[in-house]
Structure 1
Amino acid sequence: MQTNLPQHPCANKCTDFKEEQCGHCLVQVMRTRTVIESDFLSGDVVVFVDAAKPDHLMTVHKAQENSVLLDGNRSFALNHLIRPASVAELGAGKRLEEGV
């Protein structure tokens, strides 16, 4: 059967290669792969959950696995200490009391 897919790099080189990617290649790919899953994305507008913390809006600069860099890398917060700002908070420009 003819294929229009590019030839796999292990073809004719790796004894484990059959017609799909071999275990050797998969292991190499997984070792070099960086996976970051975060609750937030760059550009998200967030507020602190705790009322004792500042009530101003902050913008996520960079999302990491369990934390974010905020406001152009000037602040840092753990994911569980912040939440997305609500539409009402975006309009008010600050964190509002719960239920508002």
Structure 2
Amino acid sequence: MNMKSNLPQHPCKGKCTAFKEEQCNTCLIAVEAEFLPGDVVVYSDSIDINSLHTIEAYQPNNHYWLAWDQLVRRDQIRSATTAELKARRRLPAPEMQGVTE
């Protein structure tokens, strides 16, 4: 019995070496999402939350699930800097002045 893919228009078909007959769960994220599961992010400066957060999954239309079931839009977060990772918190703009990655 020859099983055919239920994803004939899959965007990875013919491009990704991991694509066989099913969604590969790696290249789709890389194609559509800016952040990958496990990436550490902080909220943008307009949101008064200074803790670090981990990306759990990408959702369509530029949304991300963070650890602890928080759904955020792409424009609400940014990658945590090396200095922020060391400090274990989002650094305010004055503390970021002069910090080089």
* TM-score bracket relative to the smaller structure: 0.5 to 0.7
The within-5 A match list for 1:56-95 is 56-65=51-60, 66-72=62-68, 74-95=69-90
Aligned pairs, how many?
71
Residues 5-28 of structure 1: CA deviation (Å, up to 9, x unaligned)? xxxx9xxxxxxxxxxxxxxxxxx7
The within-5 A match list for 1:16-35 is 29-30=8-9, 33=10, 35=28
Whole-angstrom distance in 1 between the partners of 2:79 and 2:46: 15
Whole-angstrom distance in 2 between the partners of 1:55 and 1:43: 18
Superposed structure 1 runs of 4+ greater than 6 Å apart: none
CA RMSD of aligned residues (A): 2.2
Unmatched tracts of structure 2, length 5 or more: 12-27, 97-101
Q: Please tell me whether Structure 1 or Structure 2 has the larger radius of gyration of its CA atoms.
A: 1
Shift of 1:40: 0.6
Normalised to the residue count of structure 1, the TM-score between the two structures is 0.61
Identity across aligned pairs (percent)? 34
Shift of 1:29: 1.8
